[in-house]
Chains A and B, each alone.
Chain A
Amino acid sequence: MAFKDKLGNISLKFKKNSAAPTLAANDASLLKRFARKWQENPLYSTTLVLVIMIIVQTIALGFDYPSFGAWFSSWGKNWINILRNNASVGIVALGMTFVIISGGIDLAVGSTLVAVGAVMITMINSNTTGVLTSAGITGVPAFIIGIAAALLMGSLIGSVNGFLVARGRIPAFIVTLGTMKICRSVTQNFMQTAGARVPREFRAITNTTIGGEIILPIIYWLVIAALLMLIAKKTPFGRHVYAIGSNERAARLSGINVERVKTLVYVLSGMLVAVATVINVGRIGSMDYASAGSGYEMDAIAAVVVGGTSMSGGKGAILGTVLGMLIIAVMDNLLNLVHVTPFLREAFKGFIVIAAVLLQKKEKAA
């Protein structure tokens, strides 16, 4: 890539400027730099852990197949399952990454999911209670309006969280603990008798098959992850999030509008929850307001933490969260393959979260 070459040239120039390094010294410093990056950047160790887990998982899956093709197809199907089952939590975890890097936390994601689902389903459901249906709007236009309403609801809840954290100066843990309770309870109260089914056609948004497999959720997840990686690394907003998480005072004294950035982080989280809601509702065609999305907050936080993002803010990466999600998912799959009872799987999840943080701590001390 031409762009990258230019970057390389510029950074080369920097090196030339600093007191004429010999070739040997340069090699040594390159090696040293790699060693330091390994310590500084948890992505290296996270990737290593994931690769090891994939190898073990592949072995556990076995090679007892008539042909390579048959083995590969089974292996691939297993992977599509893993990715699809984790896509919506994976998307929520991406928003959580931004929140945690900014120095906050969003416990309300699971409840936001049902509140958003309630709004969307109320708009498009095929019963007489459907707002759009009774107004005579059906089909694709109704779906577009319904999804827009979902995104709006998600960002609305996010902006309330963000406002209370940034302007109200209430700890994020408290704010989102509160909205978590409020969202689910209010939703359940109002949706007691309302229908919860969406028209069959809506489900195409998730369940349309490509090459015989349902892979749309995976595509949504990865496209959003790529987009957010770009935002995190290449936009002023993304850099400001890191700056605020690392040193809020210094960020403010650099002219950054700290309140606005913090609020936007929660809005982003809320919007990504809305995307996850659309995927979930599309997948099963309805929503159980009592149980949907419950535990999402903890699963998302677990993925973020295993992915190497620091709970104290300022450090972390979107890619890390994707890897973290995969590590947890592959382990879950592995436990399934070796017939570990479902009751124990959560324990393993807990174990890996603690182990991941322990590992990162050690790196810091080294």
Chain B
Amino acid sequence: MNVSMKGIVKSFGANDVLRKVDFSVKGGEICALLGENGAGKSTLMNILGGVLQLDQGQIELDGKAVAFHSPAQSLKAGIAFIHQELNLINDLPVYENMFIGREIKKFGGLIDHKEELRQTRELFAKLDIDINPLAQVESLDASYKQIVEISRALMFNASIIIMDEPTTSLTDPEIERVFDMLRTLKTQNVGVIFISHKLREVMEICDTHVVLRDGVLVASGPVKDTTIAQIARNMVGHDVRTEALAQTAQLDKEILRLENLTQEPHYRNVSLSVHAGEVLGVTGLLGDGRSELFRTVFGDGGKYQGRIILDGKPVHIKSTRQALALGIGYLPRNRKENAIIKDMNILDNGSIVTLKKNTRFGLINRKKQLQDFERQRKELQIKMESPTDMISSLSGGNQQKVVLAKWLAAEPKLLILDNPTQGVDVGAKEEIYDIILRLARQGVAVVVLSNEAQEIIRVCRRALVMYHGDVRAEVSGETMNEANMMRLATGG
């Protein structure tokens, strides 16, 4: 089956997400859909998958115009959308998962297990899949789960399969297994749309590619006619290099040093060092392992191999409390889940880390607590009414500053910031950059984890680029530009 989407326009309010995008894929073809976060990939696929409705444009299947108003309609027409979070039920065997929602029933409404099992075996034989249909889904590794999900789509006669970053949580041999499956699909004349950030994989498995940037199609064509570097340039655009704010400061003593830190499957053999007064960037794309790496440094990551040397002394960090006592601060990503205590007020949120320091006879010294917080409030220019208002009354940027405030109050010598400007508007973003640089000037060793290359370029003197748990390279000065970082982050 051939799908073609013509002149697709979609906007959310005043925000034009897709501006006249043309996109097509044929049966037996694997097409890579590429672009930075926010380029419009997901929106385009959600339109094809029936999750979103288009504003203008047309979808054609084999030349016939169609309209999808729900995921069910799209699925019925033969288009299956396989999301990153798989839709399998772990506690059921494989063959039952194949028929979830479309159980084959016997007389009396009971499930016909025998027939389900038979059909599953038949399909697996046809696709050359080596999975026991009776195995519990839970016992399968991530790649086999994905294969089960793909075969389920085929069981429902899907002829176009959309896969959203299918390889991010997989190890190399697992990826190879999924790729084998995709190659089999080609022989069955199934079309695949492969959304990915990993350009090396794209070059390996895909036939054609489409690059979106800011809702516009900027490049497309056979993969063999292009290069990773070219695709990376297309994804980023050109004139994006913004001036770097970071100064080449005199490097002070080494604060943190990692030697061959490994935690399978997240990251392996990572060695790095951060000095006082320095802002080190660590970047990469989804699944690069940088967040897990620094969660380990903050004592929240579980068991690891390798050595952590803090301030010249080897330490084995087992808990967040220990990390705090060692002088490490950590602003996690996903503020809402990991940092905001929603039932507490601004003051409590901004001083939860230092409560134990500000006590007298075991009771919290509220005056000192208020004074400390007031100092941070001024420093960070937090806009708020009263410190006893709930944290939820603040804007995202101000909430983030309150989270920063609690760590600044602890006066860490090493501060780890994971996606510090996530969900923060442009103005507050710049303010947070200023704060980061000021901290470095005051002699704090700062690590900024970010997937935004521009952010890294703006605040960091040098940066490490990670790919699939490995540090690919260190960039600084001339090599620290978006196209190069994108190339490294995509495994090129």
Chain A interface residues toward B at CB < 8 A: 3, 6-7, 10-11, 13-15, 17-18, 29, 33, 40, 230, 234-236, 239-240, 242-243, 245-247, 249-257, 310, 314-315
Q: Does B118 contact A (CB under 8 A)?
A: no
A10: contacting residue among B325, B340, B367, CB under 8 A: B367
Question: Measured between alpha carbons, how far is A236 from B370 in the docked complex, in Å?
Answer: 15
Q: Does B424 contact A (CB under 8 A)?
A: no
Top 8 closest pairs, chain A to chain B, by CB: A255-B324, A246-B343, A314-B343, A236-B355, A234-B363, A257-B321, A236-B356, A246-B341
How many A-B pairs fall under 8 Å by CB? Answer: 106
Contact A256:B386 (CB < 8 A) given known A6-B367, A7-B367, A234-B363: no
Indicate if the CB atoms of B390 and A40 lie closer than 8 Å. yes
Question: Measured between alpha carbons, how far is A329 from B387 in the docked complex, in Å?
Answer: 37
Question: Measured between alpha carbons, how far is A253 from B384 in the docked complex, in Å?
Answer: 24
Q: Does B141 contact A (CB under 8 A)?
A: no
Question: Measured between alpha carbons, how far is A17 from B388 in the docked complex, in Å?
Answer: 15
Chain A residues with CB under 8 Å of B410's CB are 255
Question: Measured between alpha carbons, how far is A235 from B364 in the docked complex, in Å?
Answer: 5
Question: Measured between alpha carbons, how far is A29 from B384 in the docked complex, in Å?
Answer: 13
A249: contacting residue among B337, B356, B362, B387, CB under 8 A: B337
B387: contacting residue among A6, A14, A246, A255, CB under 8 A: A14
Chain A residues with CB under 8 Å of B362's CB are 235
Chain B residues with CB under 8 Å of A6's CB are 367
Indicate if the CB atoms of B341 and A256 lie closer than 8 Å. no
Question: Measured between alpha carbons, how far is A234 from B364 in the docked complex, in Å?
Answer: 5
Find the residue from A29, A235, A250, A257 having the highest chain B CB count within 10 A: A250
Contact A253:B298 (CB < 8 A) given known A7-B367, A18-B383, A235-B362: yes
Q: Does B253 contact A (CB under 8 A)?
A: no
Contact A243:B374 (CB < 8 A) given known A14-B386, A15-B386, A253-B298: no
Considering only CB atoms, which chain B residue lies closest to A10 in the complex? B370
Contact sample, A vs B, 14 pairs, CB 8 Å cutoff: A3-B367, A14-B384, A17-B378, A235-B363, A236-B359, A239-B355, A242-B341, A245-B343, A246-B341, A247-B342, A253-B330, A255-B323, A255-B324, A256-B352
Q: Does B104 contact A (CB under 8 A)?
A: no
Indicate if the CB atoms of B338 and A250 lie closer than 8 Å. yes
Chain B 324-367 interface 0/1 with A at a Cβ cutoff of 8 Å (1 = within): 11000010100001111111100010001101100100111011
Indicate if the CB atoms of B342 and A249 lie closer than 8 Å. no
Q: Tell me the smallest distance from the CB of B449 to a CB of chain A, in Å.
A: 14
Indicate if the CB atoms of A29 and B385 lie closer than 8 Å. yes
Chain A residues with CB under 8 Å of B386's CB are 11, 14-15, 33
Chain A residues with CB under 8 Å of B103's CB are none
Chain A residues with CB under 8 Å of B321's CB are 255-257
Considering only CB atoms, which chain A residue lies closest to B383 in the complex? A18
Chain B residues with CB under 8 Å of A235's CB are 359, 362-364
B363: contacting residue among A17, A230, A315, CB under 8 A: A230
Chain B residues with CB under 8 Å of A243's CB are 341, 344, 348, 352
Indicate if the CB atoms of A256 and B320 lie closer than 8 Å. yes
Q: Does B406 contact A (CB under 8 A)?
A: yes
Indicate if the CB atoms of A254 and B406 lie closer than 8 Å. yes
Indicate if the CB atoms of B319 and A257 lie closer than 8 Å. yes
Q: Does B452 contact A (CB under 8 A)?
A: no
Q: Does B300 contact A (CB under 8 A)?
A: yes
Question: Measured between alpha carbons, how far is A256 from B356 in the docked complex, in Å?
Answer: 10
Contact A247:B355 (CB < 8 A) given known A14-B374, A236-B364: no
Contact A242:B367 (CB < 8 A) given known A236-B356, A249-B337: no
Question: Measured between alpha carbons, how far is A240 from B332 in the docked complex, in Å?
Answer: 19
Chain B interface residues toward A at CB < 8 A: 298, 300, 319-321, 323-325, 330, 332, 337-344, 348, 352-353, 355-356, 359, 362-364, 366-367, 370-371, 374, 377-378, 383-388, 390, 406, 410
Q: Tell me the smallest distance from the CB of B340 to a CB of chain A, in Å.
A: 6
Chain A residues with CB under 8 Å of B320's CB are 252-256
Contact A18:B363 (CB < 8 A) given known A40-B390, A246-B342, A253-B298: no
Contact A10:B344 (CB < 8 A) given known A18-B383, A40-B390, A255-B320: no
Chain B residues with CB under 8 Å of A234's CB are 363-364, 366
Question: Measured between alpha carbons, how far is A247 from B337 in the docked complex, in Å?
Answer: 8
15 additional contacts (CB under 8 A) given A240-B352, A243-B352, A252-B300: A7-B366, A10-B371, A11-B387, A14-B385, A14-B387, A18-B384, A234-B366, A239-B344, A239-B348, A243-B341, A249-B337, A249-B338, A251-B341, A257-B319, A314-B343
Chain B residues with CB under 8 Å of A314's CB are 341-344
Q: Tell me the smallest distance from the CB of A183 to a CB of chain B, in Å.
A: 31
B344: contacting residue among A7, A242, A256, CB under 8 A: A242
Chain B residues with CB under 8 Å of A7's CB are 366-367, 370
Chain A residues with CB under 8 Å of B355's CB are 236, 239-240
Considering only CB atoms, which chain A residue lies closest to B345 in the complex? A40
A250: contacting residue among B339, B374, B390, CB under 8 A: B339
Indicate if the CB atoms of B342 and A239 lie closer than 8 Å. no
Chain A residues with CB under 8 Å of B390's CB are 40
Chain B residues with CB under 8 Å of A249's CB are 337-338
Indicate if the CB atoms of B353 and A255 lie closer than 8 Å. yes
Question: Measured between alpha carbons, how far is A14 from B388 in the docked complex, in Å?
Answer: 11
Indicate if the CB atoms of B385 and A253 lie closer than 8 Å. no
Considering only CB atoms, which chain A residue lies closest to B340 in the complex? A250
Question: Measured between alpha carbons, how far is A273 from B325 in the docked complex, in Å?
Answer: 35
Find the residue from B330, B359, B370, B378 having the highest chain A CB count within 10 A: B370
Indicate if the CB atoms of A253 and B338 lie closer than 8 Å. yes
Considering only CB atoms, which chain A residue lies closest to B357 in the complex? A236
Question: Measured between alpha carbons, how far is A168 from B14 in the docked complex, in Å?
Answer: 51
Contact A254:B343 (CB < 8 A) given known A14-B386, A18-B385, A249-B337: no
Q: Tell me the smallest distance from the CB of A261 to a CB of chain B, in Å.
A: 10
Q: Tell me the smallest distance from the CB of B157 to a CB of chain A, in Å.
A: 42
Indicate if the CB atoms of B344 and A246 lie closer than 8 Å. yes
Question: Measured between alpha carbons, how far is A250 from B337 in the docked complex, in Å?
Answer: 7
Chain A residues with CB under 8 Å of B378's CB are 17
